[in-house]
Protein backbone atom coordinates (compact mmCIF):
# COMPACT_ATOMS: atom_id res chain seq x y z
CA UNK A 1 0.00 0.00 0.00
CA UNK A 2 1.07 3.57 -0.67
CA UNK A 3 -0.55 6.36 1.29
CA UNK A 4 -0.02 10.08 0.89
CA UNK A 5 -0.74 11.93 4.16
CA UNK A 6 -1.49 15.63 4.28
CA UNK A 7 -1.75 17.57 7.53
CA UNK A 8 -4.88 19.66 6.97
CA UNK A 9 -6.81 22.53 8.48
CA UNK A 10 -9.94 22.00 6.35
CA UNK A 11 -10.60 19.16 3.95
CA UNK A 12 -13.71 18.50 1.88
CA UNK A 13 -14.56 15.68 -0.50
CA UNK A 14 -17.57 15.77 -2.78
CA UNK A 15 -19.18 14.13 -5.78
CA UNK A 16 -20.79 16.71 -8.06
CA UNK A 17 -22.61 19.17 -5.80
CA UNK A 18 -23.01 16.65 -2.96
CA UNK A 19 -20.69 16.86 0.06
CA UNK A 20 -19.55 13.32 0.93
CA UNK A 21 -17.15 13.90 3.84
CA UNK A 22 -15.17 16.63 5.53
CA UNK A 23 -12.76 17.16 8.42
CA UNK A 24 -11.90 20.41 10.17
CA UNK A 25 -8.42 19.51 11.41
CA UNK A 26 -6.36 16.34 11.03
CA UNK A 27 -5.15 14.23 8.13
CA UNK A 28 -6.26 13.68 4.58
CA UNK A 29 -4.97 10.28 3.46
CA UNK A 30 -4.91 9.36 -0.22
CA UNK A 31 -4.91 5.54 -0.24
CA UNK A 32 -3.27 3.57 -3.05
CA UNK A 33 -3.75 -0.21 -3.11
CA UNK A 34 -1.31 -2.47 -4.95
CA UNK A 35 -2.46 -5.65 -6.68
CA UNK A 36 -0.25 -7.60 -4.24
CA UNK A 37 -1.30 -6.00 -0.95
CA UNK A 38 -2.34 -8.23 1.95
CA UNK A 39 -4.00 -7.72 5.35
CA UNK A 40 -0.47 -7.31 6.80
CA UNK A 41 -0.08 -4.17 4.66
CA UNK A 42 -3.34 -2.79 6.09
CA UNK A 43 -2.19 -3.53 9.64
CA UNK A 44 1.11 -1.70 9.08
CA UNK A 45 -0.41 1.34 7.32
CA UNK A 46 -3.20 1.79 9.90
CA UNK A 47 -0.65 1.75 12.72
CA UNK A 48 1.60 4.24 10.94
CA UNK A 49 -1.18 6.67 9.98
CA UNK A 50 -2.56 6.85 13.50
CA UNK A 51 0.80 7.07 15.30
CA UNK A 52 2.86 9.20 12.94
CA UNK A 53 4.00 12.34 14.82
CA UNK A 54 3.31 15.17 12.37
CA UNK A 55 1.67 17.71 14.69
CA UNK A 56 3.03 20.25 17.19
CA UNK A 57 2.61 19.87 20.94
CA UNK A 58 1.02 22.52 23.19
CA UNK A 59 4.35 24.38 23.47
CA UNK A 60 4.76 24.51 19.69
CA UNK A 61 7.46 21.82 19.52
CA UNK A 62 7.34 20.30 16.03
CA UNK A 63 6.84 16.63 15.12
CA UNK A 64 5.75 15.45 18.58
CA UNK A 65 2.04 14.56 18.41
CA UNK A 66 -0.01 12.08 16.37
CA UNK A 67 -3.53 12.49 15.06
CA UNK A 68 -4.72 10.37 18.02
CA UNK A 69 -2.76 12.45 20.54
CA UNK A 70 -4.49 15.59 19.22
CA UNK A 71 -7.96 14.00 18.87
CA UNK A 72 -8.06 15.04 15.22
CA UNK A 73 -10.01 13.47 12.38
CA UNK A 74 -8.81 11.44 9.38
CA UNK A 75 -10.35 11.65 5.90
CA UNK A 76 -9.40 8.70 3.67
CA UNK A 77 -9.81 8.86 -0.11
CA UNK A 78 -9.17 5.83 -2.34
CA UNK A 79 -6.59 6.81 -4.97
CA UNK A 80 -5.66 4.07 -7.45
CA UNK A 81 -3.53 6.53 -9.44
CA UNK A 82 -0.82 6.36 -6.73
CA UNK A 83 0.21 3.08 -8.38
CA UNK A 84 0.47 4.51 -11.87
CA UNK A 85 3.37 3.77 -14.19
CA UNK A 86 4.19 6.06 -17.09
CA UNK A 87 4.25 4.42 -20.51
CA UNK A 88 5.50 7.27 -22.63
CA UNK A 89 3.24 10.14 -21.67
CA UNK A 90 0.27 7.98 -20.67
CA UNK A 91 -0.31 6.61 -17.16
CA UNK A 92 -0.87 2.87 -16.82
CA UNK A 93 -2.48 1.40 -13.70
CA UNK A 94 -1.65 -2.32 -13.94
CA UNK A 95 0.10 -2.23 -10.53
CA UNK A 96 -3.14 -1.14 -8.83
CA UNK A 97 -5.51 -3.75 -7.43
CA UNK A 98 -8.57 -4.37 -9.65
CA UNK A 99 -11.95 -2.72 -8.99
CA UNK A 100 -14.09 -5.23 -7.02
CA UNK A 101 -11.17 -6.65 -5.06
CA UNK A 102 -9.78 -3.20 -4.22
CA UNK A 103 -13.21 -2.02 -3.05
CA UNK A 104 -13.37 -4.89 -0.52
CA UNK A 105 -9.76 -4.23 0.47
CA UNK A 106 -10.41 -0.50 0.94
CA UNK A 107 -13.56 -1.17 2.99
CA UNK A 108 -11.52 -3.49 5.22
CA UNK A 109 -8.88 -0.75 5.58
CA UNK A 110 -11.59 1.74 6.72
CA UNK A 111 -12.98 -0.86 9.17
CA UNK A 112 -9.52 -1.40 10.66
CA UNK A 113 -8.96 2.38 10.95
CA UNK A 114 -12.26 2.71 12.83
CA UNK A 115 -11.38 -0.20 15.16
CA UNK A 116 -7.99 1.30 15.96
CA UNK A 117 -9.27 4.84 16.65
CA UNK A 118 -12.56 6.62 17.32
CA UNK A 119 -14.97 5.33 14.69
CA UNK A 120 -16.66 8.69 14.13
CA UNK A 121 -13.27 10.39 13.60
CA UNK A 122 -12.53 8.26 10.52
CA UNK A 123 -14.21 9.62 7.40
CA UNK A 124 -13.98 8.42 3.82
CA UNK A 125 -14.96 9.43 0.34
CA UNK A 126 -17.06 7.51 -2.14
CA UNK A 127 -15.09 4.60 -3.54
CA UNK A 128 -14.68 4.66 -7.32
CA UNK A 129 -16.45 8.00 -7.74
CA UNK A 130 -15.04 10.99 -9.61
CA UNK A 131 -14.57 13.33 -6.65
CA UNK A 132 -13.53 16.90 -6.08
CA UNK A 133 -11.25 17.00 -3.03
CA UNK A 134 -10.26 20.33 -1.53
CA UNK A 135 -7.18 20.14 0.67
CA UNK A 136 -5.94 23.08 2.71
CA UNK A 137 -2.50 21.71 3.57
CA UNK A 138 -1.21 22.83 6.97
CA UNK A 139 2.54 23.47 7.13
CA UNK A 140 2.53 22.25 4.41
CA UNK A 141 3.06 18.71 5.65
CA UNK A 142 2.88 15.87 3.13
CA UNK A 143 4.28 12.43 3.99
CA UNK A 144 4.42 9.32 1.80
CA UNK A 145 3.97 5.97 3.56
CA UNK A 146 4.57 2.65 1.84
CA UNK A 147 4.02 -0.70 3.49
CA UNK A 148 7.13 -2.85 3.68
CA UNK A 149 7.69 -5.70 1.26
CA UNK A 150 6.04 -8.86 2.63
CA UNK A 151 6.90 -10.94 -0.43
CA UNK A 152 8.31 -10.09 -3.83
CA UNK A 153 6.11 -7.35 -5.31
CA UNK A 154 6.07 -5.78 -8.74
CA UNK A 155 8.10 -2.61 -8.98
CA UNK A 156 6.58 0.53 -10.47
CA UNK A 157 7.73 -0.57 -13.93
CA UNK A 158 5.69 -3.77 -13.65
CA UNK A 159 8.60 -6.22 -13.26
CA UNK A 160 9.19 -8.37 -10.21
CA UNK A 161 11.38 -6.98 -7.44
CA UNK A 162 13.34 -9.68 -5.76
CA UNK A 163 13.34 -9.62 -1.96
CA UNK A 164 17.13 -9.98 -2.04
CA UNK A 165 17.57 -6.81 -4.09
CA UNK A 166 15.16 -4.87 -1.87
CA UNK A 167 17.00 -5.97 1.28
CA UNK A 168 20.41 -5.27 -0.26
CA UNK A 169 19.47 -1.73 -1.31
CA UNK A 170 17.22 -0.93 1.65
CA UNK A 171 14.13 -0.84 -0.58
CA UNK A 172 15.68 1.36 -3.28
CA UNK A 173 15.72 -0.56 -6.54
CA UNK A 174 17.10 2.46 -8.42
CA UNK A 175 20.70 2.07 -7.28
CA UNK A 176 22.99 4.96 -8.02
CA UNK A 177 20.27 7.56 -8.63
CA UNK A 178 20.91 9.29 -5.31
CA UNK A 179 17.19 9.30 -4.57
CA UNK A 180 16.33 7.16 -1.49
CA UNK A 181 12.61 7.26 -2.32
CA UNK A 182 13.17 4.95 -5.28
CA UNK A 183 12.26 7.63 -7.80
CA UNK A 184 14.52 7.77 -10.80
CA UNK A 185 15.99 11.12 -11.75
CA UNK A 186 15.84 12.03 -15.40
CA UNK A 187 19.17 13.12 -16.84
CA UNK A 188 17.78 15.95 -18.93
CA UNK A 189 15.48 17.76 -16.54
CA UNK A 190 16.80 16.74 -13.12
CA UNK A 191 13.21 16.23 -11.96
CA UNK A 192 12.10 13.08 -10.17
CA UNK A 193 9.79 10.83 -12.10
CA UNK A 194 7.76 8.19 -10.31
CA UNK A 195 8.71 4.91 -11.93
Nearest Cα to Cα of residue 124 among 106, 142, 140:
106
Q: Is 81 a catalytic residue?
A: yes
Q: Which of 10, 38, 64, 81 is catalytic?
A: 81
CA distance 75 to 23: 7
What are the residue ranges spanned by the domains of the chain?
2-153, 162-195
Which residues have C-beta within 8 Å of that of residue 57, sequence separation ≥ 6? 64, 65
Task: Give the fold, CATH level 3, of 2-153.
Answer: 3.50.80
Residues 88-131 pLDDT 10s: 999 999 999 998 999 999 999 999 999 999 999 999 988 988 88
What pLDDT tens digit does each residue of the chain (195 aa) get?
Answer: 998 989 888 777 888 888 889 898 999 999 999 999 999 999 999 999 999 999 999 999 999 999 999 999 999 999 999 999 999 999 999 999 998 999 999 999 999 999 999 999 999 988 988 888 889 989 899 999 999 865 555 555 555 443 333 333 344 333 333 333 333 333 333 333 333
User: Is residue 151 a contact partner of residue 18, using CB atoms and an 8 Å limit?
Assistant: no
User: Is residue 57 a contact partner of residue 64, using CB atoms and an 8 Å limit?
Assistant: yes
Amino acid sequence: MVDLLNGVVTNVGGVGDELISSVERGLCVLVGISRDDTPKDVEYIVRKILNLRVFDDEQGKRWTKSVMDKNYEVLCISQFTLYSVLKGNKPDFHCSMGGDESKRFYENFITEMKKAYKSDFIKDGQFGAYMQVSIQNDGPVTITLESPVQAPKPDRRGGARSREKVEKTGGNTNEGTGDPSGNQLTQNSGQAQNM
